[in-house]
Chain A
Amino acid sequence: MTQLTYCLVVRCGPHQQSQALSAIEFARSLLERGHKLERVFFYQQGVLTASSLRSPAQGDLDITKQWQQLQKAHEFDLDACIAAALHNGIVNEEESQRYELSAHNLAQGFALAGLGQLASATVTCDRVMTFGANL
């Protein structure tokens, strides 16, 4: 079997369960089958996945935690688009200081990245897949 390198683009928020779930299930499956996951790029509402302040209702899956666990086991990049993150109130310590905000909330394991990181993933990855429905 040929090993392929993947980049996943997640456009939907973590509360849009079925789409957000499809992305992580797909990631799990490809890793189980011996493929490589290089980067998950969270864009648009997807950046909300990178908030450390999410408290899903009891019984709901914690998608943020699931990504963190998967990343720990397989080492890939969890990148949140920095422009979308700033729009949606997701900041790391550095951006929080830059914009003089009262707090920072980027979840552990996630990084803020520019669209250039997505562009570079299209060069290095064999496959780029998008998750998130258009309403």
Chain B
Amino acid sequence: MSSLIVMRSTPYGNTNAKDALDVILTLAAFEQEPVMLYQGLGVQQLLLEASMDTPFKHVGKILGALPMYDVETVYVDQTSLVEHSIKPEQLQDLPVACQLLTSHQVSDLLHSHLHVMVF
């Protein structure tokens, strides 16, 4: 039974993104095959180029480690991308593949997981 981790926080000004990735890497190390969904402000985490000068470590480098933990694909809420003016092309060079989901598909994904952690 895999866990769904919902990334809903901006990467700036708090450590939610990093704390969520710590959980994901731990789950993966325990072979729990975590599933990731980027939603709301969380989609900003996928803009590695937009790294700002903050005292918090940028999550970009950790994303690069995901394939080593067998996390090859992450889900991204398409509506959230539109809301934050992010084009799908901007996600092309990420170390993980992004699969865009419609609102209905997001709903299905949430319903299909009994273990959900929101960050």
Contact = CB atoms under 8 A, between A and B. Distances in A.
Contact of A134 (B8, B30, B115): B8
B9 A119 contact: no
B79 interface: no
A63 interface: no
Nearest to B4: A128
Interface in B74-113: none
Interface in A111-135: 114-116, 118-120, 122-123, 125-130, 134-135
B72 interface: no
Q: Which of A119, A127, A130 has its CB near the most chain B CB atoms (within 10 A)?
A: A119
* Chain A interface mostly: mixed
Contacts of B3: 122, 128
* Chain B interface mostly: mixed
A130 B16 contact: no
B70 interface: no
Interface residues of B, number: 23
A129 B116 contact: yes
Given A115-B23, A123-B1, A134-B16, 12 more contacts: A84-B19, A119-B29, A119-B32, A122-B3, A122-B27, A128-B117, A129-B116, A130-B116, A130-B119, A134-B8, A134-B9, A135-B14
17 contacts: A44-B15, A44-B16, A115-B23, A116-B26, A119-B32, A120-B30, A122-B32, A123-B30, A128-B114, A128-B116, A128-B117, A129-B116, A130-B116, A130-B117, A134-B8, A134-B41, A134-B119
